[in-house]
Structure formats: C-alpha cells, structure tokens
Structure 1
Amino acid sequence: MSVAPSLSAPKKNVKEIRILHQPGFVLHSYPYKETSLIVDIFSREYGRVSLVAKGAKRPTSALRSVLQTFQPLSISWTGKTEVRTLTTAEWVGGMLPLEKSALLCGFYLNELLVKFLLREEVNTVLFDLYVSTLNQLAHNENAAIVLRKFELILLQQAGFIGDLGYCVQSRERILIDHYYVIDPTRGVRPFVSGEGLPQVLGKTLFDMSVGDYNDPVTQLQSKQLMRYLLSFHLHGIPLNTRQILIDLQKL
C-alpha cells in the first residue's frame, strides 16, 4: 500500500532527472505551503510520481486550470528527491469529460490507483486500461461492468490474483457448474461449506477471465467477490468513493 511522499532534502550524488512531455493524468492533489500543490501524477512511462506544482494555487497561475483530474496532460518535471518539481503541464485533449455518476466512478478509479500502485512502478498495461476505462465511462457504458473489469486487472497487475480458470488444489481447469472461492493467499480452490469466503460458480470465474459480464449471476457474484478481495488487500480500510457508489447503487 502506498505511503505519503517524503519532502526530505536531496541525497548526495543523486543525479537530477529531467522528464519532458510525458503523457499523464492527475490522480490527486493537496495544498503545499501557501501557494503550491503536491500533485500525484499517473504517467505512462514513469508510473505514479509526486510533483510539487509551485505557485499553482495563485489565481494567475497557468497551472491552476490545467491540473484537473481525468484530463490527458503532457507533463514535464525535474528533480532528485522522491517529490520532484513540475515544470510544465499542458492539456492534450481528445477525451470527453466525465459527468454525473461517471465522474464519481472516475474518482473511485483514482482512489484505487493511489492505494494499489506503488510510486514510480511503471505499468503501461494499467495506464492504457485507465485511459480506456475513462473513455468507456464518458460514453455511458455500464459502470458496474466497466469497474469490475478494471478492479480485476488492477489486482492481477498487483500480483494479488492469478489465473481464474485454474484450481490450485486439483491443479486442473475449473468446472463451470462447480462452486469455488478465491483464497487471497493461495488462489482459486473448491468452496467448502461453512467458510466465510464468497462462493462463485466456475462459470462466473470463466466469464470474468474473458471479460464477459452479460450473465446477471456473473454480475452479482463478481461484485461480491471483488468487494471481498479489495477489502482484504486494503486490510479492511474502506474506500470513500466506493461507499458513495454503493449508496447510489452504482457499484
């Protein structure tokens, strides 16, 4: 799980890096000193990085209107420490804005990335998935299905879920008419009566593995399964946006 960035002094003999025109998105920002911001950026080739946007809170700052969530940006930065200095950020365009419930779903994606994506861990698969997911939400595709797909790939990319079609006990492919559980520490295994893990049909696991959520049973069971797995890997710490989405019956 991610931790707050360090604002400590640069280490000796650490080479200053200079990154130019990197595709990226703002995940989160918060005030720093009187006029600046710390901005959490998800970049395609450098992963999640924290940048100081100096003077971004000033009314006259060009960064003030640019550093918005869910907008594709071209970002440049420099520095030696964990928290580097933003030098330029330019709006790229080409994506529809998120509105109404889709906007809240976008904040949910950002909260997941902040929780699960380690700093400076490059993951182009996840970056491209994030862009695709934002586009799907902007075009009013089924939000619950779009989010299920994102959650699954996020946990797979983080190494928390393996092959959904493989039973770790039998060492064979799953059977679509049998019930299974995903043991967070081991993987897919047969369901045992009386245990507290959510049970799912083999068909549900197969459907999830190929991205097919048309079956109402698959939709229901995958929702229960992902709620459990996310909670387990977050050590029970609730996601603020998820609870709001549940209250709105969007998740």
Structure 2
Amino acid sequence: MAALSADSTSSVSASDVRSAPEPVAKSSRRKPPEKELRIADQPGFVLHSYPYKETSLIVDVFSRDHGRIALVAKGAKRPHSQLRGVLQTFQPLSVSWSGKSEVRTLTKAEWVGGLLPLEKSALLCGFYLNELLVKLLARDDPHPALFNHYVSALNHLAHDEPPAIVLRKFERALLRESGVAGDWTRCTVSGTRVLADQLYVVDPESGPRPARVADTWPKVLGKTLQDMDNEDYADAATQTQSKFLMRFLLAHHLNGTTLNTRQILIDLLQL
C-alpha cells in the first residue's frame, strides 16, 4: 500500500515598511497570520472532481471528521501521475492535506481498500448518493455518523442488496444527520407517538401531523414512519410510501435544484 504525494507550494508576501518624516517611529498592529491547517491520514471518499488549470484537479472529498472539503490535486492530470488511479469515486482513501483557504492542497492520497467495486445499477446508485452529499451538505461541516452510513450504503450496494431499500435508508440518515429532519415517530400536533393505522403528512420544517383531505403532500401511514425509523422496509406499502415521501422532502430541501442521477434512476429503475 503505497503513499502517493502531490507537490505543494506556498508563497510569502512581504509587507511594506514606510518611514515617517518625523523622528518618532510609528507602530502598526497587524492581525497575526492564520495558522495553516495540516490534516494527516483522514478517511475519505472522492465525491466529484473537475479540471483545474492545465495539469491539476479540484477534488470534492467527503472526509470522516472534517466533512465535505475541496482539495486541489496538483499534477493529477499528468499522464504518468499515480494520483490519477487513486482519486476514484467509491474507493476508501486515506487523505492528507494542508492550507487555510476554502480550497486546500492535497498532500497525500492512499488507497486503503476494503470495499467491493460498484457495478451496473449499483454504480448509478452510488453516483446518486454522491450527488446528494454534494448538493445538500455544506463544506467543512463534520458528519462522522453520516460518513458511516455512507460506507454502509456503498457496502450494501456492492453486495447486491435491494437498491431501493439502501437508498431510502441513506436518504433518511442524510436528512436526520444534517439536522433538517427530526423524530418522525411523534406527531407534532399532539406530541404523542404516531398511530400505525392513521394517515399523516410530514411537514418538511416540523415533522408529522395528521393528514387532511385537502393535503397535496404525500400521505403515509404511521406504520410507514415507524418502519422507516426502525430501518424495516419489508412491507411493500412502506417501500412505496417512503419512496414518494423522500422524493418530496428532498425536493423541498434542495430548493428546486435538479438531481440528475435521480431522474435517471426514476427512468431506468423506478427508484
């Protein structure tokens, strides 16, 4: 398992010193320079990358303890750069970086293995997970629990578990861990637990409440909400209702942003 390094450069700008005509020296207070951040051997995954200048890449990485970060991989586009083979999606990496700006410098990337590659429909589902993370997570916002859910989802997809169930579990975890969805097992009107045989709608900003005839939001049984909380998707009704519920809630929190992979999944796999 070989470590791969990307060269990093830094520049230091000198400050101008101006002398006053009077013999009294003038002193100025300057804000101390921000300390450069150096992170070593952080577990992470490449979510997305795009070209930067002639030979480099900007890599969007989902790290375990630092959340989603942007790194410049210098020289990664060169034909013989070993980074080209390492900075691949869905591969567990050990990543190191330095810098103090929004886009830091990748200093090392090492493939650590442990996951089977995604193939066919599972690969498309993986890209859907990545697109959700890129569009819903702010940068530099740590989500270690969500990182573990992501690893679990990739592992289940690689082992041919039903994609619809894997995606529903991850979507629910994403909304919960990112703080935009709370407890769906309690009614926000009464404060009591939802009833299995009663219909509810889930307000994107507050949570479940009893459904009304005039409601245009997806109506779901209390049992569906209970099953989703328990990650139990054995019931066919739970699978169907959770699909339309999550599609509605994600659309709300994305503020109209289109998920390209979601539409492909709907067209090809009815997910």
TM-score (structure 1 length as normaliser): 0.94
The corresponding residue for 2:182 is 162
Name the aligned partner's letter for residue 80 of structure 1. K
Paired residue for 1:144, among 164, 178, 181? 164
Q: CA deviation at 1:206?
A: 0.6
Paired residue for 2:43, among 12, 23, 35? 23
Q: Distance in 2 between matches of 1:215 and 1:102?
A: 22
TM-score (structure 2 length as normaliser): 0.87
- Per-residue CA deviations over 1:165-218 (Å, capped at 9, x if unaligned) read 100101111110100000112211000101211100011111111000000000
Q: Distance in 2 between matches of 1:236 and 1:44?
A: 28
Aligned 1:1-251 pairs, distance under 5 A:
13-251=33-271
Question: What are the ranges of 5 or more consecutive residues in structure 1 without an aligned counterpart?
Answer: 1-8
Tell me which moved more, 23-32 or 12-21.
Answer: 12-21
Name the aligned partner's letter for residue 134 of structure 2. V
Name the aligned partner's letter for residue 109 of structure 1. L
- Per-residue CA deviations over 1:229-249 (Å, capped at 9, x if unaligned) read 000111122200000000112
Identity over aligned residues, as a percent? Answer: 66
- Per-residue CA deviations over 1:104-138 (Å, capped at 9, x if unaligned) read 00000000001111111111100011001000000
- Per-residue CA deviations over 1:47-74 (Å, capped at 9, x if unaligned) read 1110000010000111011100000011
Task: Mark the structure with the bigger radius of gyration.
Answer: 2
Q: Distance in 2 between matches of 1:195 and 1:188?
A: 13
Q: Is the 8 A contact 2:143 2:178 kept in 1?
A: no
Secondary structure in structure 2 of the residue aligned to 1:39: strand
RMSD between aligned alpha carbons?
A: 1.4
Q: Distance in 2 between matches of 1:165 and 1:94?
A: 35
Q: Is the 8 A contact 1:143 1:250 kept in 2?
A: no
Secondary structure in structure 2 of the residue aligned to 1:194: coil
Q: Is the 8 A contact 2:71 2:106 kept in 1?
A: yes
Q: Distance in 2 between matches of 1:27 and 1:97?
A: 15
The corresponding residue for 2:17 is none
